[in-house]
Chain A
Amino acid sequence: MRKSHPVRRAVLAGAATVSGIVLLLSLKPAADPAAASAAGTAPRAPSAGQESPQGGSGALPGGTTTVTGDAAPTQYGDVQVRLTVSGGKVVKAEAVRAPKGGLSDQKTAMAVPRLNQEAVAAQSADIDAVSGATYTSGGYRTSLQSALDQAGG
């Protein structure tokens, strides 16, 4: 779509992509054995100090891996997301846990398909910053802005 530029390259570059998305969604390899085997060699989120240099040839080995996130509380209930990463890019995002019951079911029915699209869109949207309701210092750590900051320019 657009010309490659530093941020996009960094966001899309393998390790940086995975760590960014991992930070964004508080993802870590799933703890339960079944999911863990599905997670395969999914990398753990590195700390900022271990962040790999951006813009490098950080593409993951050709294989496809999945990472499953911690459940994130939302105003409608907990949401847990599994990402599929192939060739260093997020190719699929799916909710493995979503709110149930009453209005929440209706919301989930609409929100999950949107979430599938949007989680992919966010990492390929070629953005420099994110505006949203004010986050606390703690909330920052799981924010998309934090992922952009970590990915570097």
Chain B
Amino acid sequence: MTGQAEAPTGLRHAEEVMGTVFSFDVRGGEPEAVRAALREAVAGLHRVDEVFSTYRADSEVSRLARGELTVAQCDPQVAEVLALGAEAERMSDGWFSLRYQGRLDPTGVVKGWAAERAARLVAAAGASGVSVNGGGDVQVLGSPGADRPWRVGVSDPLRPGGLAAVVSAAGAPELAVATSGTAERGDHIVDPRTGRAAVTDLVSVTVVAPRLVWADCWATAAFAMGAREGLAWLESLPGVEALLITAGDEVRCTGGLGARLG
């Protein structure tokens, strides 16, 4: 993957990490400072992968799951992620879970959390607009230009290459768009009542919220809940809007989503 520097006001980079690709689109700021922050953010993603990967037997999370380490002996990021995951479990009544097949597996919270953190790190270096797409889950901060908001397409799972909607961040200093769907890697979406893979009538759930770490968790939980319960639950969360696509090719939205579409 290569970074492409172009006009001094814009910087793009795509980084292969965590089994997917993170795409950065950074506008404004002092170029050297922004470039340095981007390098730091990318290094941070690789560090997160090393610590949290459940595919690496020697990662801290794998050793923690085997009881070889305590949380206190791990990188402080582990405690932070576990606390966020525990909060997501409480808020979703267990539909979001930090465990998979009985084993500690914080994968469901790590990617969104890491992408949001990377975006904030680059924005803190002075960029006026930052978009980070962590394998399909997007955090935008600021705006790409003075007269234009960030615009995020929502892919249509039943029509490859098509869009089901376009979400505009107009008026929002920060916005996240996260999607859970049947094409998602791994099988981390579990019905807490059965302990088995969730049976759902949905093909995708897209959640729009200020912070990606939560948007990502809520999309996962609502996907497992199914259309009826998922939509009602998402509607009850303050500051959260959503678009659900059912296996029957119907689109369901929360009441306030329309104001975000553009």
A129 CB within 8 Å of chain B = yes
Chain B: interface residue total (CB-CB under 8 A): 55
Q: A132-B154, A134-B20, A136-B19 are in contact. Are A25 and B181 (CB under 8 A)?
A: no
Is the Cβ of B185 less than 8 Å from the Cβ of A136? yes
Is the Cβ of A111 less than 8 Å from the Cβ of B180? no
A105, chain B: closest CB distance, angstroms:
14
Is the Cβ of B21 less than 8 Å from the Cβ of A135? yes
B101 CB within 8 Å of chain A = no
A144, chain B: closest CB distance, angstroms:
7
Partner of B135, one of A122, A127, A134, A153: A134
Is the Cβ of A128 less than 8 Å from the Cβ of B136? no
Partner of A153, one of B2, B12, B178, B179: B12
Q: Complex: how many Å from CA A146 to CA B7? A: 20
Is the Cβ of B166 less than 8 Å from the Cβ of A125? yes
B215, chain A: closest CB distance, angstroms:
9
Q: Complex: how many Å from CA A49 to CA B20? A: 21
B193 CB within 8 Å of chain A = no
B213, chain A: closest CB distance, angstroms:
15
Is the Cβ of B156 less than 8 Å from the Cβ of A118? yes
A134, chain B: closest CB distance, angstroms:
5
Q: Complex: how many Å from CA A117 to CA B20? A: 29
Is the Cβ of B155 less than 8 Å from the Cβ of A131? yes
With a cutoff of 8 Å between Cβ atoms, the chain B residues found around residue A126 in the complex are 151, 166
Is the Cβ of B10 less than 8 Å from the Cβ of A136? no
Mark A121-153 against chain B: 1 for CB-CB distance below 8 A, else 0.
110011111111111110010001110110011
With a cutoff of 8 Å between Cβ atoms, the chain A residues found around residue B161 in the complex are 24-25, 81, 115, 118-119, 122, 144
Hey, which bits of chain A sit against chain B, CB under 8 A? 2-3, 5-7, 24-25, 48-49, 54, 72, 74-75, 79, 81, 107, 110-111, 114-115, 117-119, 121-122, 125-137, 140, 144-146, 148-149, 152-153
